[in-house]
Amino acid sequence: MDINQTLQNLRVSYRLEALDISDCRPDPLAQFDYWLKEAINGQCDEPNAFTLSTVSHNKPRGRVLLLKGLHQGDFVFYTNYSSAKGQEMETNSHAAMTFLWLPLQRQVRIEGTVTKVDAALSDDYFSKRPRGSQLGAIASPQSQKVSSRQVLEKLFSEVQSNFGDNKPLKRPESWGGYALSPEYIEFWQGRDNRMHDRIAYEKENGLWTLSRLAP
């Protein structure tokens, strides 16, 4: 069968749940916490995975990352400051996050501005990462072009040899956390006949307002 025909015939009916404004908590962070816990308990694959969208030279760019914290109303994730996304957020602090929990037929969209987290928070998280992940953060020149896989493995082996198996590893200055401060959060619940439920929270003068959006 032609791939276009296959794609056109792919259909899933969403009928698990409904979502109304009356179901939502006044604070979108509390609503997100509730949905995230349901995604975790529902054994969704990588429930903390999200697509981070940034802007580079007026062009959108996206990639999948992992949420690693909710701190003081912000969404926290970690990466290399010198990476492509790090440079893009340095130039344009506006960014968006999208979570998709297919087993629950749910999606959450978040828009806001991004800032680097306090160094102490980055240090604390880095110290809790598996040693292999720590070594990888030190070794990888993230987003830079490399000639082969062997180059990456050589960089990792050199770092591993330099630090051994037990020496504590210090967080590299080029690696750390970002916090996205939300200005817009939308909760999407799949419904039958593509008449999905969409509840949007918008921040106005420091207060959140709720609205229902057409699907």
- Residue positions annotated with a catalytic role: 194
Closest CA to 104 of 25, 31, 36, 50: 36
Distance CA 76, CA 202 (A): 20
Q: Which amino acid is at 34?
A: Y
**Cross-strand bridge partners of residue 64:** 51
Contact, 215 vs 194, CB < 8 A?
yes
Other beta carbons within 10 angstroms of residue 39's beta carbon come to 23
Contact, 212 vs 198, CB < 8 A?
yes
